[in-house]
């Protein structure tokens, strides 16, 4: 770990805990900073804060008092989920106090180079693929960020021989300053998180920060099939490495004569790839580019692609029962994600969908429902999704109480050769604490069928 002397004797406020806040506070304390932690959860219900208190760190819990910003802090380390319109953040900005996220702190203490992945969709799959490819290629990767261990925990134990593979959200990227990945990947850009960013332009600006400090010694891997991504890439000083599923590329990653290629080199035949879906082919191409640039050999990359069937809750193959294949795509918390999931299958689909009602309709889903032979709905949006199903001409539409009851109902309306797909197109919070819990309930219900 590089010792960041810049934090010694510096007065720092860590705002918001969760795993990243705990890690940031502990690290800053070890670097000699005078750390104060502020978290909304009361101390009696906050074991993380209690642990920091035992380390001698000042802890203020139960509320976010704006007057705290009058105590002369020289830096704020913000939980990514706290929006910039929060009164505490506004007070810090008014006093011109620098605000960073924990990822920036991790970069400043890391001896290892970063392979950083962002985008609207596909981040988790791409990050996992790159990690698996580098691990198979004996490149000693460490995985961090939203998908793995907290970045600053990983960074403290990383050496020059490692590569930190990290998934980054726009929320995290808004709080970087010096962050400079050796390789950056932008999978795609769609409209998302406008409630946080305020506009599509601001969202794109946040994503662009992944390459803000890169130079000609670095690489930016970008989706050549999206004009908005390529427009962003024009601003980068890094070497641009494109990938495309629609056209052949000589210098990037693409498909030629049925083969995944990188810089003209054949990696694997598309028919030998285990992970289904055109959208996953985008993820695969970007991962291949990152892995090859990091030095993984093509045999290791091909072996991963022959065996990798997806990350948990993202188009995850669960089981086959009496000829029906069950897939868990609980992470599909919006319409676009469900559209992509449906496009991955040529077989008839029994779709399980529904969840939190955010006020939107599901008309955009209708063109993607052509392969759906039966629709099983649940949750707050059940009626709205049923309307979309009826408009798409689906004859069999059944409403149930929850995911657990949806699985046996889906089986009753399926035949051998069908796909039974949980892809809710909605967040889980009306019935389940997280999409992971929802997906786990689906998996458990599938295994009960056996």
Looking at residue 148, its pLDDT comes to 73
Secondary structure class of 17 (helix, strand, coil) = coil
pLDDT at 194: 66
Per-residue model confidence as pLDDT tens digits over 388-399: 999 999 999 999
CA 140 to chain centre: 22
Between β-strands 265-269 and 259-262, what pairing exists: parallel, antiparallel or unpaired? antiparallel
For the cut 90, the answer to whether the pLDDT of residue 163 exceeds it is: yes
- pLDDT for the residue numbered 2: 85
- Locate the DSSP E strands across 244-332: 253-256, 259-262, 265-269, 316-321, 324-328
Where along the chain do its domains lie?
A: 5-100, 104-307, 316-449
What are the pLDDT digits (tens) for 42-80? 999 999 999 999 999 999 999 999 999 999 999 999 999
Can you tell me whether residue 174 is helix, strand or coil? coil
CB 286 within 8 A of CB 243: yes
How far is residue 88's CA from residue 94's CA, in Å, rounded to a whole number? 10
Given this model, what pLDDT does residue 310 score?
A: 82
Complete DSSP assignment for 375-388: EEE-STTHHHHHHH
* Known binding-site positions for ATP: 119-125
CA dist., res. 114 & res. 168, Å (int): 11
Alpha-carbon distance of 304 to 334, in angstroms, equals 28
> How wide is the angle at C-alpha 182 spanned by C-alphas 216 and 233, nearest 5°?
55
- Among 376, 435, 425, residue whose Cα is nearest residue 402: 376
Long-range pairs, 248-255, Cβ under 8 A, ≥24: 249/224, 252/221, 252/224, 252/289, 253/221, 253/285, 253/286, 253/288, 253/289, 254/285, 255/281, 255/285
CATH number corresponding to 5-100 = 3.40.50.720
Cα torsion through 278, 306, 260, 143, rounded to 10: 80
Instruction: Please tell me the predicted confidence (pLDDT) of residue 198.
Output: 73
413's tokens:
């309306």
The CATH superfamily label for domain 316-449 reads Mur ligase, C-terminal domain (3.90.190.20)
The pLDDT of 148-154, averaged and rounded, is 91
Q: Considering the chain, what is the average pLDDT of its residues? A: 94
Residue 309, C-beta contacts closer than 8 angstroms, at least 6 positions apart = 274, 275, 316, 317
Query: Residue 145 pLDDT > 90, yes or no?
Result: no
> Can you give the pLDDT at residue 288?
98
H-only helix segments in 312-381: 335-342
Backbone φ and ψ for 406, nearest 5 degrees, come out as: -70, -30
Beta strands in 244-281 (DSSP E): 253-256, 259-262, 265-269
Could you list the beta-strand ranges (E) of 122-279.
141-145, 163-167, 183-186, 219-223, 239-243, 253-256, 259-262, 265-269
Angle at 27 between CA 24 and CA 28, to 5 degrees: 85
Residue 289: its H or E element = helix 278-294
pLDDT digits (tens, 9 = 90+) for 76-125: 999 998 999 999 999 999 999 999 999 999 999 999 999 999 998 889 99
Would you state the structure tokens that stand for residue 116, as one six-digit string?
């950083």
Query: How far lies 420's CA from each of 215, 318, 376, in Å?
Result: 47, 10, 10
- Chain position carrying tokens 């080199």: 265
CATH number of 104-307: 3.40.1190.10
Per residue in 233-277, pLDDT (tens digit) is 999 999 999 999 999 998 999 999 999 999 999 999 999 999 888
């Amino acid at each position: 770990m590089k010792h960041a002397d810049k934090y010694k004797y510096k007065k720092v406020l860590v705002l918001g805990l969760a795993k990243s806040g705990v890690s940031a506070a502990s690290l800053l304390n070890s670097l000699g900073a005078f750390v104060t932690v502020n978290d909304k959860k009361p101390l009696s219900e906050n074991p993380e804060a209690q642990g920091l208190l035992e380390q001698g760190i000042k802890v203020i819990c139960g509320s976010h008092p704006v007057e705290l910003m009058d105590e002369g802090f020289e830096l704020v380390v913000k939980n990514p989920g706290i929006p910039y319109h929060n009164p505490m953040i506004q007070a810090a900005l008014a006093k011109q106090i620098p605000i960073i996220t924990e990822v920036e702190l991790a970069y400043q203490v890391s001896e290892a180079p970063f392979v950083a992945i962002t985008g609207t969709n596909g981040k988790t799959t791409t990050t996992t693929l790159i990690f698996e490819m580098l691990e198979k290629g004996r490149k000693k990767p460490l995985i961090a960020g939203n998908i793995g261990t907290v970045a600053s925990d990983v960074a403290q134990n990383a050496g020059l021989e490692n590569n930190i593979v990290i998934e980054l959200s726009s929320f995290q990227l808004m709080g970087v300053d010096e962050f400079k990945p050796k390789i950056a990947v932008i999978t795609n850009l769609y409209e998302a998180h406008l409630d946080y960013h305020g506009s599509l332009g601001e969202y794109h600006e946040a994503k662009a920060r992944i390459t803000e400090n890169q130079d000609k010694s670095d690489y930016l891997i970008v989706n050549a099939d999206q004009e908005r991504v390529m427009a962003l890439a024009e601003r980068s000083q890094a070497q641009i490495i494109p990938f495309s599923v629609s056209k052949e590329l000589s210098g990037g990653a693409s498909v030629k004569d049925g083969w995944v290629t990188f810089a003209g080199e054949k990696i694997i035949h598309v028919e030998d790839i285990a992970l289904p879906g055109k959208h996953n082919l985008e993820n695969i191409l970007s991962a291949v580019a990152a892995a090859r640039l990091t030095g993984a050999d093509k045999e290791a990359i091909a072996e991963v692609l022959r065996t990798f069937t997806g990350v948990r809750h993202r188009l995850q193959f669960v089981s086959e029962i009496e000829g029906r294949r069950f897939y868990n795509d609980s992470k599909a918390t919006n319409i676009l994600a469900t559209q992509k999931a449906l496009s991955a299958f040529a077989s008839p689909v029994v779709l399980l969908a529904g969840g939190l009602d955010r006020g939107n309709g599901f008309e955009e889903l209708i063109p993607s429902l052509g392969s759906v032979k039966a629709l099983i709905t649940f949750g707050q949006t059940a009626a709205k999704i049923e309307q979309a199903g009826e408009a798409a001409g689906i004859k069999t539409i059944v409403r149930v109480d929850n995911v657990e009851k949806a699985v046996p109902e889906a089986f009753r309306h399926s035949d051998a050769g069908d796909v039974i797909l949980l892809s809710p197109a909605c967040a889980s919070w009306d019935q389940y604490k997280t999409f992971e819990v929802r997906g786990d309930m689906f998996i458990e219900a599938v295994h009960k069928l056996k």
